[in-house]
């Protein structure tokens, strides 16, 4: 038994997945939370990740998609991003609990002597630690959705399944389980196959968990016959098997869930029909449909180096989508791999693009390609938004090609083999390591992370965009624009229009002799929601729309 007293008002909904990963569990969980929130219930979401990293911060985007930054500086799983984009909830880093974090806290307690004399075991000690963390985040909420990462059957996931199984006994009718599976369509026989789903449901049941609802993901809509079959193997009535086929837009998911009577499952009889017609997702989907029918398309390119995996730029892509809905403009996003432009730019790839975003990133790979592309965009007057590393490269390119200081670079690119800074007078560090970063030895969780204020300078484009004197945005970086050289940049029209006064860090720069050449040290993409897009992207798309008409 855990020490923490639960709020018995809380309803727990545990969401597991089977068959394959990347089923969109995060989007379904976020959609459920949004529907619950619409009925004014207090809802919280927890993501349990069975991997042993303490957080997602040290993972390459290719391993696990983007790292999502929370307001309080958490480097979290990208699902936390989905949760924020669909709801009004502001998530803390504590809402993402990895197995690594649980083991670390448990072992720390053991060293402190908390369990003195006892043998520490997975059951009950590790499972208690999991339950305690869930309960702590449940206090004061009507609904707690807990998404268990990974796939049922993974070795790492077993303690999590055991912990939530125990919670079903401890909190009886307050607990529901949703299992999400996949039904593949075999092209050569033209059949939908339920066998993998049957196996994964069996596997879940072997862990002592009986799903209350099965959500079937599929490439094409499944038939009632398939639903019946899955229901039979799941010990469920067919009405508790619902289907989410692939959709053109993830923001259709809440409505699709509503249309399949998810309210019956979530709420008691009194409230179950309250959402039917008046959900905010109804209107949003009407707008989305209208936009999809438009023939004019704004082409936006994201220049980066993790372009093989779209999930690496998840928040950025979604933020652009939010602002396109706000502008009622259809957009098409193209990912361009900057490493292909290292020797010289391939103009063909940059053609017909209305606006460019130079994305954030780390390390030297792909840098020269980005600089080459920036030179072209600056000279041609093509709207360009630089984010974090993007801003830093805008500054470097400006020094190299406008001020003709070819030695200009960032300290990040001149690290020696041991990853330590080299004092090399062949280079001029126009981008340098932040002062407080110099003494940091650990890699995980040590960047300048999360919310910081940015003062907006009046009579600038930035002020026109934000219409306020101060904004707060999320950050994730170690390097900054070197203030020593700002006068030189400003003398040529590349001016500072946003600054963090406490740390004296440049936050926004803009080039006055250009239609839109705008760089930000922060990551506006982490602060955009479908019902409240980020002002910067909204302005950007609005500008592209006006230029096109």
d(C-alpha 467, C-alpha 405), whole Å: 35
Q: Does 275 engage in binding with ligand GLN (CB under 6 A)?
A: no
Is 454 one of the annotated active-site residues of the chain?
A: no
Least gap, CB of 508 to ligand GLN (angstroms): 15
Is 38 one of the annotated active-site residues of the chain?
A: no
The residue from 147, 162, 318, 412 that contacts ligand GLN (CB under 6 A) is 412
Q: Of 389 and 541, which CB lies nearer to ligand GLN in the complex structure? A: 389
Q: Among 15-23, 119-127, 377-385, 474-482, which window interacts with ligand GLN (CB under 6 A)?
A: 474-482
Q: Does 478 engage in binding with ligand GLN (CB under 6 A)?
A: yes
Q: Residue 93's Cα: distance from chain center in Å? A: 13
Q: Of 275 and 489, which CB lies nearer to ligand GLN in the complex structure? A: 489
Q: Of 71 and 362, which CB lies nearer to ligand GLN in the complex structure? A: 362
Least gap, CB of 359 to ligand GLN (angstroms): 7
Q: Which helix (H) or strand (E) holds 46?
A: strand 43-49
Is 206 one of the annotated active-site residues of the chain?
A: no
- Residues in 135-164 at the binding interface with ligand GLN, rule: CB under 6 A: none
Q: Of 505 and 543, which CB lies nearer to ligand GLN in the complex structure? A: 505
At 499, list the tokens.
């600054």
Q: Which helix (H) or strand (E) holds 379?
A: helix 367-380
Q: Which of 171, 213, 209, 136 is nearest to 11 (CA)?
A: 171
Q: Among 2-10, 271-279, 300-308, 472-480, which window interacts with ligand GLN (CB under 6 A)?
A: 472-480
Count of C-beta atoms within a 10 Å radius of residue 477: 22
19-22's contacts with Cβ under 8 Å and 24+ in sequence apart are: 19/151, 19/181, 19/182, 19/196, 19/197, 19/199, 19/200, 20/151, 20/182, 21/150, 21/151
Judge contact between 462 and 456, C-beta under 8 A. yes
Least gap, CB of 476 to ligand GLN (angstroms): 5
Least gap, CB of 131 to ligand GLN (angstroms): 35
* Chain position carrying tokens 């307690």: 109
Q: Of 157 and 498, which CB lies nearer to ligand GLN in the complex structure? A: 498
- Residues in 89-118 at the binding interface with ligand GLN, rule: CB under 6 A: none
Judge contact between 414 and 425, C-beta under 8 A. no
- Residues in 313-372 at the binding interface with ligand GLN, rule: CB under 6 A: 360-362
Is cis: bond before 124, omega within 30 of 0?
yes
Q: Does 476 engage in binding with ligand GLN (CB under 6 A)?
A: yes
Least gap, CB of 177 to ligand GLN (angstroms): 38
Judge contact between 510 and 462, C-beta under 8 A. yes
The residue from 47, 131, 474, 477 that contacts ligand GLN (CB under 6 A) is 477
Among residues 388, 397, 475, 507, the one annotated as catalytic is 388
What DSSP assignment string belongs to 180-205? EEEE-EETTTTEE--HHHHHHHHHHH
Compute how many residues bind ligand GLN; rule: CB under 6 A: 10
The residue from 141, 177, 267, 479 that contacts ligand GLN (CB under 6 A) is 479
What DSSP assignment string belongs to 228-242? HHHHHHHT--GGGEE
* Chain position carrying tokens 């949003």: 284
Closest CB to ligand GLN belongs to which residue? 360
Site string for ligand GLN, 382-411 (x = CB under 6 A): ------xx----------------------
Q: Of 103 and 362, which CB lies nearer to ligand GLN in the complex structure? A: 362
Q: Which of 233, 161, 246, 154 is nearest to 197 (CA)?
A: 233
Chain contacts with ligand GLN (rule: CB under 6 A)? 360-362, 388-389, 412, 476-479
Catalytic positions: 388, 523, 525
């Amino acid at each position: 038994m855990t020490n923490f007293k639960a709020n018995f008002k809380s309803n727990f909904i545990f969401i597991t997945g089977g068959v394959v990963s990347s089923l969109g569990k995060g989007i379904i969980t976020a959609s459920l939370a949004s529907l619950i929130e619409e009925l004014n219930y207090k809802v919280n979401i927890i993501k349990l990740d069975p991997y042993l990293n303490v957080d997602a911060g040290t993972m390459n985007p290719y391993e696990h998609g983007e790292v999502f930054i929370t307001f309080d500086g958490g480097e979290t799983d990208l699902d936390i991003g989905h949760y924020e984009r669909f709801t009004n909830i502001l998530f803390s880093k504590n809402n993402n609990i990895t197995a690594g974090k649980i083991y670390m806290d448990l072992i720390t307690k053991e060293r402190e002597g908390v369990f003195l004399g006892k043998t520490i075991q997975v059951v009950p000690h590790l499972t208690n630690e999991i339950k305690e963390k869930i309960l702590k985040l449940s206090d004061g909420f009507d609904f707690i959705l807990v998404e268990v990462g990974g796939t049922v059957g993974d070795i790492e996931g077993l303690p999590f399944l055991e912990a939530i199984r125990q919670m079903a006994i401890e909190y009886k009718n307050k607990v529901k389980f949703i299992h999400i599976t996949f039904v593949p369509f075999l092209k050569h026989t033209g059949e939908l196959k339920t066998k993998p789903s049957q196996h994964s449901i069996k596997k879940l049941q072997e862990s002592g968990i009986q799903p209350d609802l099965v959500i079937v993901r599929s490439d094409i809509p499944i038939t009632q016959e398939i639903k019946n079959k899955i229901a039979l193997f799941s010990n469920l009535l067919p009405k508790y098997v619902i289907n989410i086929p692939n959709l053109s837009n993830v923001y259709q998911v809440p409505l699709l869930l509503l249309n399949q009577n998810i309210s019956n499952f979530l709420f008691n009889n009194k409230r179950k029909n309250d959402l039917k017609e008046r959900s905010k997702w109804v209107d949003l989907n009407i707008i989305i449909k209208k936009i999809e029918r438009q023939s004019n398309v704004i082409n936006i390119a994201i220049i980066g180096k993790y372009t093989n995996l779209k999930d690496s730029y998840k928040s950025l892509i979604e933020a652009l989508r939010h602002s396109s809905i706000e502008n009622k403009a259809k957009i098409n996003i193209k990912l361009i791999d900057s490493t292909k432009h290292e020797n010289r730019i391939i103009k063909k790839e940059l053609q017909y693009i209305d606006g460019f975003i130079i994305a954030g990133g780390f390390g030297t790979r792909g840098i020269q390609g980005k600089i080459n592309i920036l030179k072209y965009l600056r000279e041609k007057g093509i709207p360009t938004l630089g984010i974090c590393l993007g801003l830093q490269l805008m500054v470097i390119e400006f020094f190299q090609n406008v001020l003709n200081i070819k030695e200009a670079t960032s300290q990040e690119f001149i690290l020696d083999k041991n990853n330590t800074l080299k004092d090399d007078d062949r280079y001029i560090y126009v981008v340098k390591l932040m002062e407080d970063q110099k003494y940091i030895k650990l890699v995980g969780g040590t960047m300048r992370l999360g919310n910081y204020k940015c003062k907006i300078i009046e009579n600038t484009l930035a002020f026109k965009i934000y219409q306020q004197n101060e904004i707060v945005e999320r950050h994730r970086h170690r390097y900054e624009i070197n203030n020593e050289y700002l006068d030189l940049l400003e003398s040529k029209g590349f001016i500072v229009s946003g600054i963090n006064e406490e740390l004296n860090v440049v936050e926004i720069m803009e080039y006055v002799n250009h239609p839109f050449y705008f760089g930000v040290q922060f990551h506006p993409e982490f602060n955009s929601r479908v019902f409240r897009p980020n002002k910067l992207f909204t302005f950007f798309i609005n500008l592209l729309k006006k230029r096109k008409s």
